[in-house]
Structure 1
Amino acid sequence: MFKNKKGSQKIDSLIGHGSVLSGDMKFAGGLRVDGSVIGNVTSADEKNGTLVVSEKARIEGRVKASHLILNGEIVGPLEVTQYVELQPRARVVGDLTYKVLEMHPGAVIEGRLLPLAGARVVTPEDKPADAKDK
Structure 2
Amino acid sequence: MFSRKKQPLIKSLIAKGTCVQGDVLFTDGLRIDGEVHGDVRADVEPSIVVISESAQVQGRVQAAHVIVNGTVLGPVHAGELLELQPRARVTGDVHYKALEMHQGALISGQMRPSEVVLQEAPPLKLASSGG
Using the size of structure 1 for normalisation, the TM-score is 0.80
Quote the residue 1:70 is aligned against.
68
Show structure 2 runs of 5+ residues with no match: 1-5, 118-131
Q: What is the CA deviation profile of residues 24-80 of structure 1, one whole-angstrom value per residue up to 9, with x for unaligned ones? A: 1100000000000000110001x3110000001000001111001110010001111
Q: Looking at secondary structure, tell me which structure has more strand per residue.
A: 1
Q: What does 1:91-130 align with in structure 2 at a 5 Å threshold?
A: 91-118=89-116
Is this contact kept in 1: 2:7–2:46, CA < 8 A? no
Code of the aligned partner of 1:54: S
Overall identity of the aligned pairs, in %: 46
Quote the residue 1:52 is aligned against.
50
Code of the aligned partner of 1:118: V
Q: 1:43 to 1:8 in 2, by over 3 A?
A: closer
Quote the residue 2:77 is aligned against.
79
Larger CA Rg, structure 1 vs 2: 2
Q: Cα RMSD between the aligned structures?
A: 1.5
Show structure 1 runs of 5+ residues with no match: 1-6, 120-134
Q: What is the CA deviation profile of residues 61-120 of structure 1, one whole-angstrom value per residue up to 9, with x for unaligned ones? A: 01111001110010001111000110000010000010000000000000000110229x
Task: Say how many residue pairs are matched.
Answer: 112
Q: 1:8 to 1:31 in 2, by over 3 A?
A: same
Q: Kindly indicate whether residue 7 of structure 2 is the aligned counterpart of residue 16 of structure 1.
A: no
Distance across 2 between alignment mates of 1:30 and 1:15: 11
Moved more, 8-17 or 72-81: 8-17
Is this contact kept in 1: 2:75–2:92, CA < 8 A? yes
Code of the aligned partner of 1:113: M
Q: Looking at secondary structure, tell me which structure has more helix per residue.
A: 1
